[in-house]
C-alpha cells in the first residue's frame, strides 16, 4: 500500500540539512512526474529518511533500503545481494585498516549526488543526451510538439502534460548501476594493499639467494573477463578507442597486472569485471533482454573501470592514453565528480564533516561547479589534485574553503 506522503512537507523538513536538502529537491524534481514509479511514495520517504538520519548505523540501514527500493523499479532485485555483501565485509576491513572509509552510505550518496549534478549542469545533460543518441541506446526525441526542448530532452510535453522521456528512464537505470557497482570491489584493494608490505618482507628474506623464487600476489579471478559475447578487456579497450578523439586507450588488462605486481589492485577495474560477469549470467538466466545488455552495459562498465585509474602511474609507463573529458566520457566524468566530491558523512582520519559543511552550486557564466567545503586547506588541495589527475582541466570544479 502506498504511503500518504506530503512531498512538500518532506522537502521542507530537509531545509536545515545543507546539501542534503539540495539532493532531496533534485531527486524529487527528476522523478516527480513518473506515473509508473513503483512504490513511489515509499521510495521518496526512504530517500528522506536516509538524508535526515542521525548516526552512521541508521544511515547504513536506509542506504541499503534506498538502493534496494530502486532496483525493484527495474525488476532487478538480484543486484541487491552484491551491495548487501559489501555491508557485511566492510566492518571486518575497518578493524585492521582504520583509514578505510565507508562505502555503503557513500554508494547511496553518490547515487543522489550524481542526480543532483546532472540536474544542475546543462552541459552534463547535453553530453549524456548526445552519448545516448550517438550510441543509439534508446529512442531519441529532442523536441516537444512546439519545437522547444524540455529539460534538454529528458522530459516530453504530451499536450501540456510533462512526462519523463526514454532518455531520463535510461539515465536513471544507468546511474543506479554505476553508483551501486563502482566501489563494490574496494575490499579487495584494501586487503591487497595491506598484504603487499608483508609479501615484500617475505621476499627480502631470500633475495640474496640465487635460486630463490619470489612470492607474488595473484588474484583468484581467472575467467572473470570471459563473457558470452566476448572478452571484457577487449570490449572495454575498444570502447576507449572509439570514444577518444585520437583513438587512444589504456590497456586495462596490462594495467591491472602491472599494478598488481606493485602490490596494488584497482577496485574500479575489478568492479567493472564483476558487473559484466554477473549481469551477463543474469540476463541469460532471467531471460532479460540480452541485446540490451550487450549494447548498454560495456559503456557503463567502462565508466566504472576508469574512475579509479592512477593516471600519474599510467603516464609514466604507457603511451597514447585517453583523456577523460565530459564530451567523450560523460558517464565516467560524472562518476569521478560525484565520487570525489562526496566527502560528508564519511567519518575517517582525513575528514569528518556533515551535510551543512559543504555546498555545491553551478555558475552558469563560468560554466563550472563552485564547491565550498569546511575542510583543511591540505585536504581541499588533495581533492583538487585528484580531480586534476583524473579529468581534463576544463571540467574541474572550483573548490574553496567554506567561511
Q: Pairing state of beta strands 161-164 and 155-158? A: antiparallel
Query: What is the reported pLDDT for 141?
Result: 42
SS3 53: coil
N-to-C CA span, the chain: 46
* Local confidence band at 147 (pLDDT 50, 70, 90 cut-offs): very low
How many Å apart are CA 106 and CA 92, to the nearest integer?
17
The tens digit of pLDDT for each residue in 3-20 reads 455 777 787 778 889 999
Angle between helices 186-206 and 267-285 (to 10 degrees): 130
Which uninterrupted H or E stretch holds 162?
strand 161-164
How far is residue 264's CA from residue 370's CA, in Å, rounded to a whole number? Answer: 33
Strand 161-164 relative to strand 358-363, pairing: unpaired
pLDDT tens digits, residue range 18-75?
999 999 999 988 877 665 455 677 888 899 999 999 988 899 899 989 988 888 877 7
Q: Which three cell numbers stand for residue 141?
A: 526525441
pLDDT of 148 higher than 70: no
101 closest CA partner among 189, 227, 221: 189
Confidence of residue 144 (pLDDT cuts 50, 70, 90): very low
pLDDT band at 305; cut points 50, 70, 90: very high
Instruction: Pick 234 or 191 by higher pLDDT.
Output: 234
What pLDDT was estimated at residue 11? 78
Is residue 360's pLDDT more than 90? yes
Asked if 295 contacts 334 with a C-beta cutoff of 8 angstroms, the reply is no
Average pLDDT over residues 114-126: 94
Higher pLDDT, 142 or 271: 271
Confidence of residue 168 (pLDDT cuts 50, 70, 90): confident
Q: How many helices (H) and strands (E) does the chain have?
A: 16, 7
Query: Quick check: 273 pLDDT over 50?
Result: yes
Q: What is the mean pLDDT of the chain?
A: 84
Computed over its alpha carbons, how large is the radius of gyration of the chain?
A: 22
Q: Over 50: is that where the pLDDT of 146 sits?
A: no
Task: Indicate the length of the chain as a whole number.
Answer: 403
Torsion from C-alpha of 200, 202, 206, 207, nearest 10 degrees: 0
Give CB contacts under 8 A, 24+ apart, made by 66-75. Answer: 66/108, 66/111, 67/107, 67/108, 67/111, 67/176, 67/180, 69/39, 69/42, 69/43, 70/43, 70/111, 70/176, 71/176, 71/180, 72/38, 72/39, 73/37, 73/38, 73/43, 73/172, 74/173, 74/176
Q: Give yes or no for residue 324 having a pLDDT over 90.
A: yes
Residue 143 has pLDDT above 50, yes or no: no
Beta pairing partners, 368 = 363
Distance, in Å, from the CA atom of 314 to the CA atom of 323, rounded to the nearest integer, reads 12
Element (H, E) at 359: strand 358-363
Q: What is the pLDDT of residue 140?
A: 41
Q: Which residues lie below 8 Å from residue 137, measured CB to CB, with a gap of 6+? A: 131, 170, 295, 296
pLDDT digits (tens, 9 = 90+) for 78-118: 887 766 665 666 555 555 555 555 668 999 999 999 999 99
Amino acid at each position: 500500500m502506498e504511503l500518504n506522503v506530503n512531498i512538500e512537507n518532506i522537502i521542507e523538513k530537509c531545509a536545515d540539512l545543507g546539501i542534503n536538502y539540495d539532493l532531496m529537491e533534485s531527486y524529487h524534481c527528476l522523478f516527480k512526474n513518473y506515473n509508473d514509479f513503483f512504490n513511489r511514495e515509499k521510495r521518496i520517504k526512504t530517500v528522506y529518511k536516509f538524508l535526515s538520519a542521525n548516526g552512521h548505523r541508521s544511515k547504513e540501514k536506509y542506504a541499503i533500503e534506498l538502493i534496494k527500493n530502486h532496483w525493484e523499479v527495474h525488476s532487478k532485485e538480484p543486484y541487491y545481494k552484491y551491495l548487501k555483501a559489501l555491508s557485511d565485509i566492510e566492518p571486518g576491513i575497518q578493524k585492521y585498516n582504520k583509514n578505510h572509509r565507508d562505502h555503503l552510505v557513500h554508494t547511496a550518496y553518490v547515487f543522489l549526488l550524481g542526480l543532483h549534478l546532472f540536474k544542475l549542469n546543462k552541459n552534463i545533460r547535453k553530453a549524456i543526451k548526445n552519448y545516448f543518441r550517438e550510441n543509439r541506446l534508446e529512442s531519441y526525441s529532442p523536441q516537444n510538439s512546439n519545437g522547444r526542448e524540455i529539460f534538454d530532452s529528458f522530459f516530453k510535453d504530451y499536450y501540456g502534460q510533462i512526462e519523463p522521456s526514454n532518455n531520463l528512464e535510461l539515465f536513471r537505470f544507468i546511474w543506479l548501476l554505476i553508483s551501486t557497482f563502482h566501489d563494490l570491489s574496494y575490499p579487495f584493494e584494501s586487503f591487497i594493499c595491506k598484504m603487499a608490505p608483508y609479501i615484500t618482507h617475505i621476499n627480502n628474506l631470500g633475495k640474496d639467494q640465487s635460486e630463490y623464487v619470489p612470492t607474488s600476489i595473484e588474484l583468484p579471478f581467472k575467467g572473470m573477463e570471459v563473457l558470452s559475447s566476448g572478452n571484457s578487456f577487449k570490449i572495454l579497450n575498444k570502447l576507449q578507442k572509439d570514444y577518444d578523439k585520437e583513438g587512444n586507450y589504456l590497456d586495462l588488462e596490462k594495467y591491472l597486472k602491472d599494478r598488481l605486481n606493485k602490490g596494488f589492485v584497482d577496485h574500479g577495474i575489478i568492479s567493472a569485471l564483476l558487473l559484466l560477469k554477473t549481469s551477463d549470467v543474469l540476463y541469460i538466466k532471467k531471460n532479460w533482454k540480452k541485446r540490451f545488455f550487450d549494447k548498454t552495459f560495456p559503456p557503463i562498465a567502462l565508466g566504472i573501470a576508469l574512475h579509479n585509474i592512477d593516471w600519474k602511474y599510467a603516464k609514466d609507463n604507457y603511451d597514447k592514453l585517453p583523456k577523460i573529458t565530459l564530451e567523450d566520457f560523460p558517464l565516467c566524468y560524472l562518476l569521478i565528480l560525484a565520487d570525489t566530491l562526496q566527502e560528508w558523512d564519511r567519518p575517517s582520519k582525513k575528514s569528518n564533516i556533515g551535510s551543512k559543511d559543504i555546498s555545491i552550486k553551478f555558475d552558469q557564466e563560468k560554466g563550472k561547479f563552485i564547491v565550498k567545503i569546511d575542510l583543511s586547506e591540505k585536504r581541499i588541495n588533495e581533492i583538487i589534485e585528484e580531480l586534476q589527475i583524473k579529468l581534463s582541466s576544463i571540467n574541474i570544479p572550483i573548490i574553496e574553503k567554506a567561511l
